[in-house]
């Protein structure tokens, strides 16, 4: 019997816990760049759409700001949303701003965070917009009895510095609140991106039956950008491209591309399938063959002169930090055995590229008589803006038996929220669907740690590429045969 009906809406809707939605959002690190540049604009978009009614916003940090300083930051960060808001939205933003407070505290001092937390209307979501080490220390200062029922802990990546430290951090967090009250933030998992991938795969008969090693040759996921370290050298020089992008964002996208079909889009079903896929994933063991790393030298990107990476302010050349990384991941299950998943991310690359490319195997038999192009069918899924391209061979003009390339293009539906708005929406409603679960965070480190150790032993050479180029010569990927965004 054919079943073409959509799953019932309730299957995809998370039922909040009995404590109800969040009443207070407490941002630690309120004076930091993350808060001003990403969190507050994301929150403002939520507020203007009526999805944060009655929310109290509290800022806190070690800087000796006053509430007036904090409210000025809110006004500046809310300005873009205010310009596009209707009268109700503008009033809601104004109300949030006027009733918001700032508290100057040292969250790593014993008892201080607990005292502030217990003075706020609950349930409270604590957003740790802080360096990871400080976030962990702050959590270690809390005791279970200090944390009221319904409290949510929101953590920014990286989640630890390796598998062992991630496990230690998870134990600390779960001693305070249940796992489904912990939101590990990966803003790449904005709902539009997630559901565009899932809808494309599972709602289309022409794709799902061929979505396996029987028909797919390889899957590539790219995140190349023109940006350099852009003032983040203190963090980036210790992280590098593999830790910063591949260990978190790109492995998550890979898992969504590769999962088996869940019964529902409920958080447990979906995250169970993501976890199962990542448990089957590994890199190696010949790291010189399946991984590559490089660092940019001086060059030009557009009309901007870019200095050598090692000459950027705050960079220690002895760290041997890569700014371009590529790894080949194997997913060792029945669906994907033998299909390489190639994940690549780089900075100071001449043309930015944010997409997944699925390359299909050639047809089993092409009748004699066809001439011209005979290249693989490819499906390209672009991230931000979300786009879709299907590249196929068709009969060309003139000689009808001469093959020509045709590209079918579409724009995928975008969310009306910013990525951090999507994140905050889940936090405030109590839905952990777009959060990274504890076992998944640990498995992402398990996958890349052997590579990091091999690179530390210099088993894989650190190559160089000129800023503004596509990477080191000899790094051949399918990007060379497609026009990229300039």
Residues belonging to the active site: 249
Distance CA 376, CA 374 (A): 7
Distance CA 369, CA 402 (A): 9
Q: Give the residue among 234, 250, 225, 251 at the shortest CA–CA distance from 323.
A: 225
| DSSP-derived secondary structure for 341-387 | EEEEEESS-SS-EEEEEEEEPPPS---BTBEE-----EEEEETTTTE
For the beta carbon of residue 14, count every other beta carbon within 10 angstroms: 16
For the beta carbon of residue 381, count every other beta carbon within 10 angstroms: 22
Residue 427 burial (CB < 10 Å; 0-12/13-18/19+)?
buried
Distance CA 79, CA 401 (A): 58
Residue 2 burial (CB < 10 Å; 0-12/13-18/19+)?
exposed
| Tokens encoding 93 | 């933003």
> What is the helix (H) or strand (E) element at residue 277, kind and residue range?
helix 267-279
Label residues 318-335 b or e (16+ Cβ within 10 Å = b).
Answer: eeebbbbbbbbbbbeeeb
Strands 291-297, 56-61: parallel, antiparallel or unpaired by DSSP? unpaired
């Amino acid at each position: 019997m054919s079943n073409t009906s959509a799953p019932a809406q309730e299957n995809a809707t998370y039922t909040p816990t009995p404590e109800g939605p969040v009443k207070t959002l407490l941002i630690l690190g309120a004076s930091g760049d993350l808060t001003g540049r990403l969190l507050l604009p994301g929150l403002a978009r939520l507020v203007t759409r009526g999805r944060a009614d009655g929310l109290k916003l509290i800022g806190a940090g070690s800087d000796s700001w006053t509430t007036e300083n904090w409210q000025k930051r809110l006004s500046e960060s809310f300005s873009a949303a205010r310009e596009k808001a209707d009268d109700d939205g503008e009033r809601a933003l104004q109300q949030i701003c006027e009733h918001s407070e700032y508290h100057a505290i040292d969250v790593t001092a014993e008892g201080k965070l607990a005292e502030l937390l217990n003075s706020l209307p609950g349930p409270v979501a604590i957003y740790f917009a802080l360096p990871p080490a400080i976030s962990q220390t702050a959590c270690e200062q809390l005791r279970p009895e200090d944390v009221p029922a319904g409290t949510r802990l929101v953590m920014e990546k990286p989640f630890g510095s390796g598998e062992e430290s991630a496990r230690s951090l998870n134990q600390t967090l779960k001693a305070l609140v249940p796992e489904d009250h912990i939101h590990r933030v990966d803003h790449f998992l904005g709902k539009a991106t997630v559901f565009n991938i899932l809808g494309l795969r599972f709602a289309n008969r022409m794709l799902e039956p061929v979505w396996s090693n029987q028909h797919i040759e390889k899957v590539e996921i790219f995140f190349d950008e023109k940006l350099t370290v852009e003032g983040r050298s203190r963090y980036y020089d210790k992280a590098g491209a593999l830790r910063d992008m591949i260990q978190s964002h790109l492995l998550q996208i890979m898992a969504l591309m590769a999962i088996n079909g869940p019964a529902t889009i409920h958080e447990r079903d979906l995250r169970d399938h993501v976890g199962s896929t990542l448990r089957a994933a590994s890199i190696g063991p010949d790291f010189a063959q399946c991984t590559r790393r490089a660092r940019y030298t001086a060059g030009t990107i557009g009309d901007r002169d870019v200095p050598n990476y090692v000459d950027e302010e705050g960079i220690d050349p002895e760290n041997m930090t890569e700014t371009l990384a590529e790894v080949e991941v194997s997913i060792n299950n029945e669906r994907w055995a033998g299909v390489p998943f190639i994940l690549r991310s780089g900075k100071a690359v001449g043309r930015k590229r944010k997409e997944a490319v699925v390359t299909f195997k050639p047809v089993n038999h092409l009748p004699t008589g066809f001439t011209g192009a005979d290249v693989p069918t490819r499906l390209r899924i672009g991230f931000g803006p979300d786009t879709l391209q299907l590249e196929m061979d068709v009969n060309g003009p003139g000689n009808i038996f001469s093959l020509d390339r045709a590209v079918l293009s579409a724009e995928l539906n975008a969310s009306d929220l910013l990525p951090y708005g999507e994140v905050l929406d889940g936090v405030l409603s109590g839905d952990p669907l777009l959060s990274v679960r504890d076992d998944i965070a640990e498995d992402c480190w398990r996958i890349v740690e052997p590579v990091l150790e091999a690179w530390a032993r210099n088993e894989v050479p650190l190559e160089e590429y000129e800023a503004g180029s596509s990477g080191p010569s000899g790094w051949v990927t399918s990007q060379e045969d497609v026009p990229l965004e300039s």
